[in-house]
Amino acid sequence: MAEDKQPFHQFPLALFAYGPTKQDKITGMIAYATISAGKHMEERLGGKEHAIEHVKAKNGDWTGFQVGRGDHRAWALGKDIVTYSWHTSPVPCADLYEKVTYFLSNFGKSPLVRVGSDLMQEADKDQFEFRDFGVLCAVYAIIGDKQYAIAHRDRVRAGALGYSSGRALFDESGSLTREGKRLLELRQDKAEPLTLNQCRYTLNRLHARKFFSRLQPVKCGRTVYYSRGMSHDELAEKLLSRLERRSNSALAQDGAEQRFREKAAALLKRFNSGGVNGAVPAFSPGSNRTVTAGFTGT
């Protein structure tokens, strides 16, 4: 996709559950994205020694920077990848990254979200409504690296709070479960999930701003397909092609089954009428069978 050529921030969806404020979450996402991007770059450069040479070549006059520290090197490498980060010292970024990773280690498995660095900057500066940002990241986490995916509203509502599954909070009717209420009570931010109407309104607003394309095969149905890389026409064509393949496969299976049944019925009819050339098949009830009986001595 074209957005992959632009600077981006990648972070776990769970960070929407991190900290008591919106700012804690945003800065945590920036710190995680910066350090993780830098660590990945160090691997691509060939390891620690090559990374040190690369960082030293930058001749950065950074406050508190220690080239021997892996998180400091990661910051020096990562800040130029994500572009929107701390640029004068690695200390605040590295310290926050440590807190964030500790939180994530206790949170459990979480999908990664990738957003453009310009959008991250807008969210940080309150130029992009945080509720919209959470819903958008929930949809993006569901799509992941797939061309398209089904995103149910309850999963989006849970994802906007950092949970990867709608079942973490809701039952099949969309109501909070006892476990879901307990999870919310433990949150520092005391956040509540969006209502269905709020979620629907936010999705419509994001769709109008062309953050994704979507297609609802059945009017008023619960199944909605989302894509962040395909246009509406491309998504429709992809789904129609998939439906056609399934239909052709089902027709082929039905045809094969019907031919088998017709031939099997004809063969069974011949057997039941006396067998081939008058012979009685071995499994016929009227066939002669040898039965071994017990012998009683006298």
Give residue 232's pLDDT band: very low, low, confident or very high (50, 70, 90).
confident
Report the alpha-carbon distance of residue 184 to residue 123 in Å, rounded.
23
Report the alpha-carbon distance of residue 74 to residue 33 in Å, rounded.
10
285 has pLDDT over 50: no
Classify each residue of 153-181 as buried b or exposed e, where b means 16 or more C-beta atoms within 10 Å of its C-beta.
bbbbbbbbbbbbebebbbeeebeeeeebe
pLDDT at 293: 44
pLDDT at 27: 98
pLDDT at 216: 85
Report the alpha-carbon distance of residue 176 to residue 169 in Å, rounded.
6
Report the alpha-carbon distance of residue 47 to residue 30 in Å, rounded.
23
Q: How would DSSP label each residue in 47-70?
A: SHHHHHHHHHTTT---TT--TT-H
Give residue 258's pLDDT band: very low, low, confident or very high (50, 70, 90).
confident
Furthest-apart CA pair in the chain: how many Å?
112
Residue 100, CA distances (Å) to 12, 24, 85, 103 in order: 10, 10, 16, 5
pLDDT at 257: 73
Q: What is the mean pLDDT of the chain?
A: 87
pLDDT at 6: 87
End-to-end Cα, the chain, rounded Å: 92
Q: What is the mean pLDDT of residues 166-183?
A: 95
Residues listed for the chain: 298
More confident residue, 285 or 235: 235
Q: What is the pLDDT of residues 89-128, one digit of tens each?
A: 999 999 999 999 999 999 989 999 999 999 999 999 999 9
Report the alpha-carbon distance of residue 185 to residue 190 in Å, rounded.
6
Q: What is the mean pLDDT of residues 217-233?
A: 84
pLDDT at 29: 98
